[in-house]
Structure 1
Amino acid sequence: MRFGAWVVEEELGRGGMGVVYAAVHTESGERHALKVIHAPAGADQEVARFSREVRVCMALRHPHVVRVVGVERTGPGDGAAPAEDEPCFLVMELCEGGSLADRVRRDGPLPVREALDLFDGVLAGLGRIHQEHGFVHRDIKPHNILLASGPDGRTTAKLADFGLAKAYDSAGLSGLTRTGAVMGTPAFMPRAQLINYKYATPEVDVWSTAASLYHVLTGATPRDLPPGWDPWLAVATSPVVPVGKRGVKLPRTVCEVLDHALSEEPDGGFRTAEALRAALKGS
């Protein structure tokens, strides 16, 4: 399969926004990830708006945020000029290690020190983008934290899709209305985001990052989501299970930080990524 000058090597995953492939450029030989965007027929204006907003996302630069290299609209073919109905796709940094969700599914929970080292980088990137760009991700989860090899050969974690969910929704490609819309993943979503999605603040990303760390350390999600339950009702009504009750031996201080981070009481939780990062460093 080809997308313009890109030859697809393999499918890496798929989700609400589209399908992600590993691909190589026929001229340069560079390897990148291509995210091919789902767009309904006749959505030309929405795709154009999405492309403009993605160019804003391209300004995001941090070693722990997956870089968007470009946005193109050239469908499979022989390099001919794109037609209006051909798919929009993003050219992104390729993270060879897959996602943290893949890692946990394959190997089980991570050792505490390894997990904390990875999330130290994630929180550094999260804080920088919140402060400097004002983006709120709204769907941080282990599936959106990718693993790559750093310059020193060590594994590093990178946030994927930062700003893209907002661009996708703002352009109207999600099919959701601007009032009462709910995006995100229930298993890693704070109650505050469900209640007031449209005006989600950086605190929801901090909660979801803590929820992702909870999963990476235990293999479980913060709330129990029994089969057959409405997951959105669970977000609205089910309490977070203290991490120490998940049957994994963890340092007491780490448990205390995570339990505070995932509190949904008015005076609970951490307001910023930097605050959670500092607490974990001290644990």
Structure 2
Amino acid sequence: MQSTANYLWHTDDLLGQGATASVYKARNKKSGELVAVKVFNTASYLRPREVQVREFEVLRKLNHQNIVKLFAVEETGTSRQKVLVMEYCSSGSLLSVLESPENAFGLPEDEFLVVLRCVVAGMNHLRENGIVHRDIKPGNIMRLMGEEGQSIYKLTDFGAARELDDDEKFISVYGTEEYLHPDMYERAVLRKPQQKAFGVTVDLWSIGVTLYHAATGSLPFVPFGGPRRNKEIMYRITTEKPAGAIAGTQRRENGPLEWSYTLPVTCQLSMGLQSQLVPILANILEAEQAKCWGFDQFFAETSDILQRVIVHVFSLPQAALHHVYIHAHNTVAIFLEAVYKQTKVTLQNQEYLFEGHLCALEPKLSAQHIAHTTASSPLTLFSMPTETPEGLAFRDPALDIPKFVPKVDLQADYNTAKGVLGAGYQALRLARALLAGQELMLRGLYWFVFSNMAGMPEIQELKGAAELRAKLRTLAEVLSRLSHNITERQLSLSSLSSELARDRDQVHEDRSIQQIQCCLDRMYLIYKQFRKSRMRPGLGYNEEQIHKLDKVNFSHLAKRLLQVFQEECVQKYQTSLVMHGNRMRVVHEARDHLRLVACSVAAYSTEAQGVQEGLSKILDWLSHQLLQDRTKAAQASAGPMASYSCPALKDLGLHMEELCEEMKLLAFDLQDNNRIIEGLSRAQSASDV
């Protein structure tokens, strides 16, 4: 046990260790509050006095939620070693998060945005106080959980920090080599003499490497054999990198350098976020300090991302989910243009459903009027079907699974198990995404079929209108033919709707996710044993035999996991993509046919209205004539010649009364017919919207 006047810790509770100090988990002697104490070793006191006190001075100057707080500076009781008492972050560092097998291919998008927000806010506070950190890396970004369960990341380890204005330079070298700016790397790692001075933008390079690492799970610049085994090539990659490239690798010994201008397909970030992030990485991962962005532009561009809202859009033609990043103050027109950039669906062909209802998006309105979406409840985009839906783009996890070496090598076996487990977690994520994609395909198409059926006129009304053919033969024949065609379309769509509902039930009954999760759980137990065993100098005979059996079982579980992923997830998903493409064409043809029906009936509307107006005039004239005849007949019956009134006049009156009644019925039928036509016109208008 070691202690200061107010704090107590055990040397077994080591949190981290560096060249000049060790960090332990400690407690306040009075309150029991957990803290982190940084205890400086003998080597630290060999540094100049001003360097020794610099970290204390820097931390006292800072006060921000994304920077680890300094509580006190104390000394141990016996050796009089300096101790920094700091805020304790119980969830480790960003590096420990990234080293977890489930994050082998980078963080999920939501978590990455939290990291970005916290790092940007913390760095902004440093620059406001004129401080350069000089050792930004995932291991120096601590994580704790907030009261609402959210991650909070905090910058720590200010041993290399110093005060430096934007236009000032320094010549001392600090940092971790994988995250060092190339100019600093040349002198610190390659030991090449050079007289370059460094500015605050060296922190931006380190931030760029850190953000790439967080997004992908890997370092951006990797020579064959690794960064620490091939330092000359590491330097070449960082300094020869073309403009716009964000990563470089050497895949074989003495092989060519390969550049990447995009994030890898295994990255979990959406293309909407990647399109915003990649230009930032390209401009801060710039070896020439004169070409690198300054902090002002970096803060402006990252803040622009963080201030945007996400609208989730599932494109039925592509069978793909898109994250559209827009500002709340943007117009709907800007949103529609952003959708076009990601889907290539032109503005005039974009039709939307949300939760089963047609969603009319007025371009002039504010984007705030767009419904609140989630990945499981997105806007559904309908447009012209493509030949083959693209679906989710992914890399087969089997390609990233390493093989166990035949002999027992505890460190190698641990590394292999970690790699296999990472690929297994990637397979689980992909399986969930593929299943969710099938659900969105079926649900979206089902909704669209239902909305089009709901927009159709009642078949019975069309049949009733067709019965007018005795009085309006031409129009009745058209209505009868249209009624038959729409009946056929309705039966087709009803069949498709039932088929979609059946397939959705099958998706819900799928158990492949549970099977993959079961394999992963069993693999994780073996992985934990390997992680524990690697710390031992060796294994006894029996333990070694168990270790060998665990390797065999681990490999069998990995094989089973991949089999389920390929046969139960990928194959079903690919089959569903083909079916989705065919169904899209059926729905699109039915919708186009409905539009033609509505247009055809609308064309006859004018003619029918003209007939109605003509009949109304005739009816008015006949009614007037009938009234006059009745008046004359009444006058005649009152006179002396009443007994001699003509019987033909009575017959004519009765005939005109019958004709008048028929005209009234015909006018009523025409009014009913016009109501049907107006219904079809409304269906066309709704479909056009």
Q: Give the TM bin, normalised by the shorter chain.
A: 0.7 to 0.9
The alignment's C-alpha RMSD in Å is 3.0
1:158 to 154, 161, 177: 154
Aligned residue runs from structure 1 range 69-218, under 5 A: 69-74=71-76, 82-83=77-78, 85-106=79-100, 107-108=102-103, 109-131=106-128, 133-162=129-158, 164-166=159-161, 181-194=172-185, 199-218=197-216
Do the aligned residues in 1 keep the contact of 2:136 with 2:179 (CA within 8 Å)? yes
Give the superposition deviation at 1:194. Answer: 4.1
1:33 to 29, 36, 39: 36
User: What residue is the counterpart of 1:274 in the other structure?
Assistant: 299
Q: 1:202 to 1:180 in 2, by over 3 A?
A: closer
Q: 1:277 to 1:192 in 2, by over 3 A?
A: farther
Distance 1:16 1:65 in 2: 22
More helix by share: 2
2:8 to 6, 9, 13: 6
1:256-279 per-position Cα deviation (integer Å, ceiling 9, x unaligned): 332233233543434345234225
Q: Between 227-236 and 91-100, report the one with greater CA deviation.
A: 227-236
Q: Which amino acid aligns with 2:161?
A: K
User: What residue is the counterpart of 2:616 in the other structure?
Assistant: none
Distance 2:171 2:291 in 1: 26
Give the superposition deviation at 1:140. Answer: 0.2
User: What residue is the counterpart of 2:642 in the other structure?
Assistant: none
User: What residue is the counterpart of 2:517 in the other structure?
Assistant: none
Distance 2:184 2:127 in 1: 16
User: What residue is the counterpart of 2:341 in the other structure?
Assistant: none
Give the superposition deviation at 1:152. Answer: 3.5
The alignment partner of 2:71 has SS state of: strand
State the TM-score, normalized to the length of structure 1.
0.79
Q: 1:220 to 1:126 in 2, by over 3 A?
A: same
2:59 to 31, 34, 57: 57
Do the aligned residues in 2 keep the contact of 1:51 with 1:71 (CA within 8 Å)? no
Do the aligned residues in 2 keep the contact of 1:138 with 1:200 (CA within 8 Å)? no
Distance 1:33 1:64 in 2: 16
Distance 1:255 1:45 in 2: 40
Give the superposition deviation at 1:149. Answer: 1.8
Q: 1:217 to 1:53 in 2, by over 3 A?
A: closer
Q: Which amino acid aligns with 2:154?
A: K
Do the aligned residues in 2 keep the contact of 1:23 with 1:33 (CA within 8 Å)? yes
1:206-244 per-position Cα deviation (integer Å, ceiling 9, x unaligned): 221121110011111121144321277457645351362
Q: Which amino acid aligns with 1:100?
A: L
User: What residue is the counterpart of 2:287 in the other structure?
Assistant: 264
Distance 1:229 1:166 in 2: 28
Distance 1:6 1:102 in 2: 25
The alignment partner of 2:160 has SS state of: helix
2:25 to 13, 22, 29: 22
Q: 1:238 to 1:104 in 2, by over 3 A?
A: farther
Distance 2:180 2:46 in 1: 32
Do the aligned residues in 2 keep the contact of 1:37 with 1:87 (CA within 8 Å)? yes
1:60-103 per-position Cα deviation (integer Å, ceiling 9, x unaligned): 100000111122221xxxxxxx45x4322211100011011100
The alignment partner of 1:117 has SS state of: helix
Q: Which has the higher contact order (CA 8 A, sep 6+)?
A: 1
Q: 1:21 to 1:123 in 2, by over 3 A?
A: same
The alignment partner of 1:267 has SS state of: coil
Q: Which amino acid aligns with 1:37?
A: F
User: What residue is the counterpart of 1:244 in the other structure?
Assistant: 262
Tell me the matched-pair count: 261
Distance 1:67 1:60 in 2: 8
Distance 1:45 1:191 in 2: 25
Distance 1:186 1:113 in 2: 29
Distance 2:61 2:30 in 1: 25
Q: Between 91-100 and 266-275, report the one with greater CA deviation.
A: 266-275
Give the superposition deviation at 1:183. Answer: 1.4
The alignment partner of 1:40 has SS state of: helix
Q: Which amino acid aligns with 2:132?
A: V
Do the aligned residues in 2 keep the contact of 1:140 with 1:209 (CA within 8 Å)? yes
The alignment partner of 1:269 has SS state of: coil
Q: Which amino acid aligns with 1:69?
A: F
Q: 1:225 to 1:268 in 2, by over 3 A?
A: same
The alignment partner of 1:165 has SS state of: coil
1:121-145 per-position Cα deviation (integer Å, ceiling 9, x unaligned): 21111112212x2110001000001
Q: 1:200 to 1:45 in 2, by over 3 A?
A: closer
Q: 1:151 to 1:202 in 2, by over 3 A?
A: farther
1:157-189 per-position Cα deviation (integer Å, ceiling 9, x unaligned): 111123x3236xxxxxxxxxxx96421112112
Residue identity over aligned pairs, in percent, reads 28
Distance 1:45 1:194 in 2: 21
Q: Which amino acid aligns with 2:68?
A: V
Which protein is bigger by CA-based radius of gyration?
A: 2
